[in-house]
Amino acid sequence: MKVVALAGGVGAGKFLRGLVRVVPPQHVTVVVNTGDDLTLHGLRICPDLDSVTYWLAELADRRRGWGRVGDSFRALEELRWLGGEAWFSLGDLDLATHLTRTQWLQQGRTLSEVTARLCSAFGVTARVLPMTDDVVTTRIDAVDEEGHHLDLHFQEYWVGRRARDGVKGIRYDGAGQARPAAGVAEAVTAADVVVFCPSNPVVSIRPILEVAGIARAIRERRGPAVGVSPIIAGAPVAGMADRLMPATGLEVSAFGAASAYRGLLTCWVIDERDAALAPRIERDLEMRVAVTDTLMTDDEAAERVARVALDLAAG
């Protein structure tokens, strides 16, 4: 069975740890959001690609969620002391990834090629693809406490300003002109199952779908497509999706998240606490629904969620 998973960062990473226990990793292609990518201090940083890679390599810091386990922050602390911009966390080991990626990109390699080399070095056997080799940037139209309009890179909004601004809109700059990375559309078409990881629907999965051709490839293929809700009991499991979903007209609920994928998904996995939403999702969104405990506290729990999702898709 060949599986294609659309992925953001941490939530996807946790889920993918389970998925590769159900499906041989060689049969899994992960298409990762790059709308959050940024250039900082001259380095090209791809937070979601890094999270997915570190989680699949068993190198993620499970307690923090982001970054590498056992990392130190000597460079970052020194940079802060020097008066540099220190709002984006960069571990010393994590820096090696950014330095290596930046150099390889500057040598003319594509982000896909760089990602494949990094995954190979990290021993990741699943195929990890950026959604595109072109630059797509998720930007937030925001309003600060004093009513001033701000046009923020997603990371500035999210990490730099800790999502404290009002959100008026979300743009995916460059997505309309971006082409899917080599292999993305082909993998979607050839997949037995497409899975949307439990990632933020508006800033993790949506940017992938905005890249010309990816949503169409999903829509036109035969076979099931299943998603796992990132929202439990009206709140995101992690992150601050509740600040962003309303700006795009989405209700902050397992129903609202599913509604972002109407016409793309045939199946939707929700948490036990949201069981009451199942009939509405089945009726209004025409998705088959499975109800389970979706909190992925460890790899065993993630495996169980992945199995429920794949069983639902197969059923």
Question: Which chain residues interact with a copy of itself by CB under 8 A?
Answer: 40-44, 72, 74-79, 81-85, 90, 92-93, 95-97, 99-100, 102-104, 106, 117-118, 121-122
Q: How far is the CB of 120 from a copy of itself (least distance, A)?
A: 9
For 44-68, the three-class secondary structure string (H helix, E strand, C coil) is EECHHHHHHHHHHCCCECCCCCCCE
CB of 94 or CB of 303, closer to a copy of itself: 94
Nearer to a copy of itself, 58 or 186 (CB): 58
Least Cβ distance, residue 212 to a copy of itself (angstroms): 29
Pick between residue 95 and residue 313 the one whose CB is nearest to a copy of itself: 95
CA distance 175 to 244: 19
Least CB distance to a copy of itself at residue 89 (A): 13
- Least gap, CB of 97 to a copy of itself (angstroms): 7
Among residues 97, 94, 78, the alpha carbon closest in space to that of 86 is found at 78
Minimum distance between the CB of residue 148 and a copy of itself, rounded to whole angstroms?
A: 21
CA dist 140 and 271 (Å) reads 29
Q: Rounded distance, CA 289 to CA 286, Å?
A: 9
Strand partners, 128: 30
| CA dihedral over 218, 167, 231, 14, signed as positive or negative | positive
Cβ proximity to a copy of itself, 75 vs 264, nearer residue:
75
Query: Left if phi > 0, otherwise alpha if psi is -120 to 50, otherwise beta: which for 115?
Result: alpha
Q: Give the nearer residue to a copy of itself in terms of CB position, either 83 or 147.
A: 83
